[in-house]
Amino acid sequence: MEEHKKNAPGRELSFVVGGEVSIRQDPWWWLVVAVAAIIVLLVMLLPVPFREIVLFARDGILVTMVVTVASYFLILIVGLLGGLGRISKNKLIFGLASLYVEVVRGIPLLVQLIGWYFASPVIIQKLGLWLNLQALIEYRPNPIITAIMAITVCYGAYMSEIVRSGIQSVPKGQMEAARSLGMSHFQAMRHVVLPQAFRVILPPMGNEFIALLKDSSLVSVVAVADLTRRGREFMSAHFNPIETWFMVALLYLIMTIVAARVVSYIEKRSKYERY
């Protein structure tokens, strides 16, 4: 592969490789620099309240990141299984996957989060009473784990559809050729279809990550001390809504635009020519 890059630089058919992360190749990094500079300047020049906000909310930033990354990892697994289910020839698997996608997509994430957090413990406790199991009766939900689970269930449905569309974008002949060489369906999926589908769905997958990072702010309603919730706590204590939400917005913005740059870098790295 290395050799080839040298042989065909810049030609229409040349292998496209992004290479280094540099401002020259991706001018949007200037936006990241600008936003970072604003944050740093505010913190340095106006430590009250901006430095205080950042210090107060830093554990919230960490929680937001943990919830986002952990959920995203689980979403990828659910999305792969759901997407394979949505193209399954087995009617039961197809039916279950489709039902999951259709139902979950039709309910707002906020409602799902609140439902999981407030309703599911009651159901588990009632079940415990009925079965007379002490462990279930004393069940108390862990906010972060419940939130991650609720987000995974919801976003997993969207991701399933992305994976399905990616698999269906790979020409049928690829699977046929693989099968005709004696590969099993599973081997053909793993070595031929999914690697090609993955490159197609990278942009929407990246999109989901950025949307997820922002939607993770909804977990603040179910007792998770994320960036949004910490911002609200700071505002209530100091009565300065303008500064607080300006800084919280900047902190979200820096996270999302860095994520967007990383996504775009990965996209460039993994492009290849299709015929």
Partner 1 sequence: MPEPIVQIKDVKKRFGRVEALRGVSLDVNEGEVVVIVGPSGSGKSTLLRCINRLEEYEEGTIIVDGMTLDNTSNINAIRREVGIVFQSFNLFAHLTALQNLMLAQRIVRKRSREEAEKIAQALLAKVGIPEKAKAHPAQLSGGQQQRVAIARALAMNPKIMLFDEPTSALDPEMIKEVLDVMTSLAKEGMTMLVVSHEMGFARAAAQRVIFMDEGLIIEQATPHDFFENPKEERTRLFLSKILHL
Question: Of residues 165, 168, 169, 174, which one binds partner 1 by CB under 8 A?
Answer: 174
- Identify the three-state secondary structure at position 42: helix
d(C-alpha 44, C-alpha 11), whole Å: 48
Given 3-state DSSP classes, what are the helix, strand and coil percentages for the chain, each rounded to the nearest 5?
80, 0, 20
d(C-alpha 120, C-alpha 243), whole Å: 37
Structure tokens belonging to residue 50: 């901006």
**6 is a site residue for partner 1 (CB under 8 A):** no
CB of 198 to partner 1, least distance (A): 9
Question: Of residues 30, 171, 236, 249, which one binds partner 1 by CB under 8 A?
Answer: 171
**58 is a site residue for partner 1 (CB under 8 A):** no
Question: Of residues 89, 134, 173, 239, which one binds partner 1 by CB under 8 A?
Answer: 173
**102 is a site residue for partner 1 (CB under 8 A):** no
d(C-alpha 232, C-alpha 244), whole Å: 8
**55 is a site residue for partner 1 (CB under 8 A):** no
| CB neighbour list of residue 254: distance below 8 Å, 6 or more residues apart | 32, 35, 36, 39
* 220 contacts 115 by C-beta, under 8 angstroms: no
Question: Of residues 176, 241, 262, 269, which one binds partner 1 by CB under 8 A?
Answer: 176
Positive or negative torsion for Cα 72, 77, 80, 83: negative
CB of 80 to partner 1, least distance (A): 18
Q: Which CB atom, from 199 or from 214, has the smaller least distance to partner 1? A: 199
Q: Which CB atom, from 2 or from 138, has the smaller least distance to partner 1? A: 2
Question: Of residues 46, 107, 127, 181, which one binds partner 1 by CB under 8 A?
Answer: 181
**184 is a site residue for partner 1 (CB under 8 A):** yes
- Say how many residues touch partner 1, by CB under 8 A: 28
**16 is a site residue for partner 1 (CB under 8 A):** no
**24 is a site residue for partner 1 (CB under 8 A):** no
Among 3-11, 23-31, 52-60, 71-79, which window interacts with partner 1 (CB under 8 A)? 3-11
**17 is a site residue for partner 1 (CB under 8 A):** no
d(C-alpha 178, C-alpha 196), whole Å: 13
CB of 176 to partner 1, least distance (A): 6
**90 is a site residue for partner 1 (CB under 8 A):** no
| CB neighbour list of residue 104: distance below 8 Å, 6 or more residues apart | 112, 153, 154, 156, 157
Q: In the window 208-247, what residues touch partner 1 (CB under 8 A)?
A: none
Spacing of C-alpha 88 from chain mean position: 25
Number of helices (H), then strands (E), belonging to the chain: the values are 13, 0
d(C-alpha 85, C-alpha 160), whole Å: 8
**What is the rounded end-to-end Cα distance, in angstroms, of the chain?**
18
Question: Of residues 22, 90, 180, 236, which one binds partner 1 by CB under 8 A?
Answer: 180
Residues that bind partner 1 (CB under 8 A): 1, 3-4, 8, 13, 15, 171, 173-174, 176-184, 187, 191-192, 195-196, 199, 272-275
